[in-house]
Amino acid sequence: MRKAIMIIAAMLTLFGGRAMAQRCLPGMSAVEIKADMADGFYTGNSRNCGYSFGVFYSVYKGRANTWSFGGEYLQTYKPYGAKGRIPVAQFTGEVGYNLHLLSDYSQTFHIYGGVSALGGYETVNWGKSVLSDGSTLHDGDNFIYGGALTLSADFYLSDKIALTANVKERFTFGSDVQIFHTQYGIGVKFIIE
């Protein structure tokens, strides 16, 4: 009887639960490459929206919370005349904190809410103040600063690679053109230890 109990206990130990992956542990870090749409859905002939690309480095802290540092390029367009548009580009650096909100039991899916500070440079029409029709543009290039609120999700394909999705609301002061930008997009995160 004692032997049977030991065999059953060993089987329950071996087969009773799955081994969980070692993810989001304190001290781990990750590099994320992401692409977003901004202020609408961008197509090649869209007149009033844009896109962005970013690279971010994250360091995991306790309870799967992260600090993130990175840079982003945001390109938007403003309608001008009947068919024209004026490009507005922002080059920003960003530092933020992402609070772990929810994850599943197997640590495959995580949801984060984040807040960040950003600063950088904005250029309107790539610094050209005279438009193609001879009009003068009064909006100019500026240094910008502000912040962002982010809601993001990570879906782990393996212990080292995760697909990400995010929604982000940026606000930048110092801009002559637009203060708020709504971004949404996808990315890929590579876990490094």
Domain spans, the chain: 2-192
Any alpha helices (H) in the chain, and if so which ranges? 2-15
Average pLDDT for consecutive 10-residue bins of the chain (193 residues)? Answer: 69 50 84 94 75 96 93 91 85 97 91 97 88 79 96 94 96 89 96 88
Domain 2-192 has CATH 3.40.50.450: no
Output Rg (C-alpha) for the chain, integer angstroms. 23
- Cα separation, 52 vs 35, whole angstroms: 6
- Cα separation, 170 vs 147, whole angstroms: 6
* pTM (2 d.p.): 0.82
- 24 φψ region: left (φ > 0), alpha (ψ -120 to 50), beta (else): left
